[in-house]
Structure 1
Amino acid sequence: MNPTGSIRRRMTISLALVAALLSLLSWSMVASFARQAAERTQDNILAASATIIAEAIRSEGGEVRLELPYAAFAMLGAVSEDRVFYQIETAGEILTGYEDLTTGSIAPAAGEVRFETTEYLDVPLRMVRMTRTVLAGEEAVPVTVSLAQTRNGIGTIAGDLSETAAALSVAFFVLAVALTGFVAQLSLRPLNELAQAVARRGPTDLRPVRRQAPSELTPLIGSLNRFMERLAGSLRRSEEFIAEAAHRVRTPLATVRAQAEVALHGAQSHDDKQRLRQMIRAIDESSRSAGQLLDHATVAYRIEDLSRDTINLAELAASVAAALEPTAGLKDIEIRLETSDVATLGDKVLLESALRNVLDNAIKYSPDETQISLTVDQQGDMACLRICDQGPGLAGQSTTDLTKRFARGATVTDVVGSGLGLTIASEVLQAHGGGIELADNPKGQGACAILTLPKA
């Protein structure tokens, strides 16, 4: 499997990019609104100051008079330290102010307020112009007031607000990234929980996944369940095929063996007898392999749906020993039982198969006229079945090596076997929460198999 990256990292990066874009957009909008608000404030103050100046214009003796009110300039100075320029014009004549403060535009109509952005002395200005009609004698004279202010204060105010907005945007981005990581982890938690639930299952647990999950995971769970259903069906068909094949092979093998024994008794030459003995040995090996393949298929099938009954291990050991007594009797081997009442929860058919395979191995590999001990006791919370023989021993081989499928000990090559007996026992015990351990016989020559199971 080649991972293409982390979904959490992708989600975090994607959402962080969105947060960055929103932060940038927020800063841009706040900075723009701040500048517009500052400009609008300046326009309002300019208009108010120009209105105060226009209202101070009066007529005396038929002439237009103006005493510049201090309040008009005080208002402009209260906002910032920008420079102020003004011009009062009537009938083409400059009454007061900066004579070269011209805009080139037509004077506004009476009562109209006009704002302009211009330059004066290479300095950008914001200017307001308004016209008021004053009666000079019997003549109505239009007086135009032009009032301008530099824009440094506006830039400073807008810059300060922009910096504040930038700081808030950065704080928002950092908070959004932190929350994004948390939300990404929270969003992926159901997927991680599903993966852990599947990972905790045993190798033969192919039951459908039944758990609450978001709707986005429903297709995944459905596909996973369908896959496990197909896999279970495939395994079941394989096990059934093996069982059927083993059953069909054992019956004709038994017939062939019987005929070979008859031929052996009637053979005259030494070579014919030798060939018939080799044939019988091969038939025995094939028959045993077929039998253990059948046992293995049965174990693999029943492990998927393990029953949990209370089983008295002393009774189970006595039953298995009695069933194998004739086989042991052919070699004058004594099976000595030492049992105590210990119970476990499990599948009786599987546990009987496991114990039978281990005890059959001990009989098969033990010399004639020896003894095999079968002990049932308990160690702490575990029930223990110990089978010790006086055979060739393990020759330094480990339990892991000997419980592999079709693996056989280095000292038993001259004995018919398939290498499945200990594999079957190991799989059964592991399915029940126990295990098997192989060791040399502490009382002398031979080996011991220790089978452990949880007590009921």
Structure 2
Amino acid sequence: MTDPARGPGSLPRRLAAVGLGGSLQRKLIWQFLAAAALAAVTLFLAIRVTADRAAEAAQDSVLAAATLALSEGLLAEDDELDLDLPPTVLSMLSAMGEDQVFYRVVLQGRTVTGYENLALPAAIPTGGEPVFYKTSLNGTPVRAASLTRTILFDGAQTDVQFALAQTRHGQAAIADAIARRAGFLGIGFFVLAVPMSLLAARAILGPIGQVADGVSRRGPQDLRPVAERVPPELAPFIAALNGFIRRLRLAHSRTETFIAEAAHHIRTPLSAIRAEAEVALHEAGDDNIRTRLRRVIRSAEECSRSASQLMDHALVMSRSDREVRGPVELGALLDGLIASMRPTADLRELSLRWRRPDEPVVVLGDRLLLETALRNILDNAIKYSNPDDAIDLLLEVSGREASVSVLDRGRGIAKADLASLAPRFQRGENVRDIVGSGLGLTMVTEVSDSHDGRFRLEPREGGGTCAHFSLPLA
């Protein structure tokens, strides 16, 4: 029989009773994805702007060299101007793609050759360095460069302004190609960020899950501080949790101490009452008085038994959360236990039949707790058996598990009572006339749970009860 609080479905049941807010993991993932999307968009825009600027700078370099070559092709002879368009101009501009090229030469405010509707820059360039600007020609956006050159014409130094423009299809194509690659890069980065965000969220929340898993695996009496290593951000939470556990352990310890002291102070006067009643019974000659004294003695024994079980239960609660574990040979333990309880069985005219394997059966556990649990199982079998009955004890090994079975021919257990006997102070309906504390099976269940074992009760065929106490082998 196992504690329902430690069953496999216990965590979902406990979570159902907790007021849940938004998922931290979901919030972290959305925040990571939002940051990744922002980074991807920023990367795309940065690459797009950089590509536009790089393409424009490349086009400006070509336009500057072509404009300079165009200006060097202008010759003044006999008061006439002769423009020889160098082949290098066209070859340089054709390298930028299949864009249209426009030029204009202006002398003394008059267009000498080229496209008259090609706009000039707002400021006249000086110093022989080209000026770059954007304009449009016949509705088509163009990038243009303009420079001024001084020549000897008509017997005087005259400034000639040159303008050379080119459509921006090639530049746009280059920028678009780079932008597409940047877009694919951004999409790939975002797609990669999805599993990375999930992994990062799990890694961040992993310590919380580890602490929760470690605490949920504890038994009901395990009040040790949480000792898992956690990030500094979780340190205040762990400190608060350990503080709560420390206060709970202190309250638990005070309760155990009170129970133990109360049981001790109850059992001491009961022993005196029993001793005096036995003396009075020996000296009494009246049958009615002797009958009443026997009742007093029996009640004192039962009260003393209940007090002893209270002390045993306090012991089980105090030791079940401690790592007091060592190899225990169940055969030898049961030999001693049966020898100590055989006189009690003999007084009730009960026979104890004991069978065990020849080889040692060793488990890892707390010897004192295991002895307490097995004593309570055997004590119940003796207490509820009828005189002249036999109680069978079997120690068996099956796989990696050792099992102690106690079979009696007593009153048995109704099927309706099987699930209700584990809680404290619960007793079967068919044993209300026998004095008992209702703690025996509770202690057995707690000991089996603290040792990762199993305890179950079932009706015995032909009448009586079968108690099975199983533990993993060492």
Range of TM-score over shorter length: 0.7 to 0.9
The answer as to 2:212 corresponding to 1:195 is yes
Contact conserved, 2:121 with 2:146, CA < 8 A, in 1? Answer: no
Query: Which of these residues, 224, 229, 252, is aligned with residue 235 of structure 1?
Result: 252
Where does residue 53 of structure 1 map in the other structure? 70
- The 8 Å contact of residues 285 and 418 in structure 1, kept in 2 or not, is answered as no
1:348 matched to 2:367: yes
1:262-277 aligned within 5 A: none
Change (3 A) 1:436 1:46: closer
Q: Relative CO higher for 1 or 2, CA cutoff 8 Å, sep ≥ 6?
A: 2
Greater Cα shift, 296-305 or 180-189 = 180-189
Query: Which secondary structure does the structure 1 equivalent of 2:160 belong to?
Result: strand
Q: Distance in 2 between matches of 1:380 and 1:280?
A: 47
**Does the Cα contact within 8 Å between 1:110 and 1:142 map onto a contact in 2?**
no
Superposition deviation, residue 260 in structure 1: 7.6
Q: Which amino acid aligns with 2:422?
A: T
Instruction: Find the residue that maps to 1:126 and give its secondary structure.
Output: strand
> In the alignment, does 2:411 pair up with 1:392?
yes
Task: Determine the C-alpha separation between the residues in 2 that align with 1:69 and 1:178.
Answer: 59
Q: CA deviation at 1:329?
A: 4.0
Is structure 2 residue 389 aligned with structure 1 residue 367? Answer: no
Q: CA deviation at 1:413?
A: 1.8
Quick one: which amino acid aligns to residue 430 of structure 2?
Answer: T
Paired-residue identity, %? 40
Partner residue of 1:451?
A: 469
Deviation string 1:154-208 (CA, Å, 9 cap, x unpaired) is 3333333322222222122222333222233334334433433333333333334
1:284–1:416: 8 Å Cα contact kept in structure 2?
no
Relative to the length of structure 1, the TM-score reads: 0.85
Question: Are 1:416 and 2:440 counterparts?
Answer: no
Q: Counterparts of 1:315 and 1:68 in 2: how far apart (Å)?
A: 116
Please list, as runs of the form range in 1=range in 2, the aligned pairs for 1:293-372 lying within 5 A after superposition.
293-305=310-322, 307-339=324-356, 342-345=360-363, 346-372=365-391
Q: How does 1:10-159 map to 2 (within 5 A)?
A: 10-103=27-120, 105=122, 107-109=124-126, 111-136=128-153, 138-159=155-176
2:178 to 157, 161, 164: 161
Contact kept, 8 Å, 2:148 with 2:162, in 1: the verdict is: yes
Write the distance in 1 (CA, Å) between the matches of 2:328 and 2:67.
Answer: 107
Q: Distance in 2 between matches of 1:180 and 1:440?
A: 56
Assess if the C-alpha contact under 8 Å between 1:344 and 1:453 holds in 2: no
1:246 to 263, 267, 287: 263
CA deviation map 1:310-341 (0-9, x unaligned): 54544433433343344334433333444555
Pair 1:236–1:153, CA change in 2 (3 A) = same
Kindly provide the amino acid, as one letter, of the partner of residue 450 in structure 1. H
Letter in 2 for 1:25: T
Q: 2: distance between equivalents of 1:380 and 1:125?
A: 89
Cα gap change, 1:72 to 1:408, in 2 (>3 Å) = same
Residues in 1 aligned to 2:366 and 2:192: alpha-carbon distance in whole angstroms: 58
Structure 2 residue matching 1:401: 3-state secondary structure: coil
For residue 130 of structure 1, report the CA deviation from its aligned partner.
1.6
Whichever residue aligns with residue 168 of structure 2, its letter is R
Paired residues of 2:146 and 2:161 also in contact (CA < 8 A)? yes
Instruction: Flag structure 2 segments of 5+ consecutive residues without an equivalent.
Output: 1-17
Which amino acid in the other structure matches residue 349 of structure 1?
A: L
- Alpha-carbon contact 2:219-2:321 (below 8 Å) kept: no
| Distance verdict in 2 for CA 1:227–1:117, change over 3 Å | same
What is the distance in 1 between the residues matched to 2:399 and 2:112? Answer: 115
Cα distance 1:87–1:260, how it changes in 2: closer, same or farther (>3 A)?
same
- Structure 2-normalised TM-score? 0.82
Distance 1:146 1:278, change over 3 A: same
Q: Does 1:435 align with 2:454?
A: yes
Question: How far has the Cα of 1:80 moved from its partner?
Answer: 3.4
Of the candidates 2, 10, 21, which is equivalent to residue 4 of structure 1?
21
Q: CA RMSD in A?
A: 3.5
Residue identity opposite 2:112 in structure 1: L
Is contact 1:344-1:454 (8 Å) kept?
no
Q: CA deviation at 1:105?
A: 3.9
Amino acid at match of 1:21: L
Structure 1 runs not aligned, ≥5 long: none
Q: Displacement of 1:407 after TM fit? A: 2.1
2-structure distance, mates of 1:164, 1:452: 67
Distance 2:447 2:186 in 1: 64
Contact 1:310 1:343 in 2 (8 A): no
Query: Which amino acid in structure 2 is aligned with residue 42 of structure 1?
Result: Q
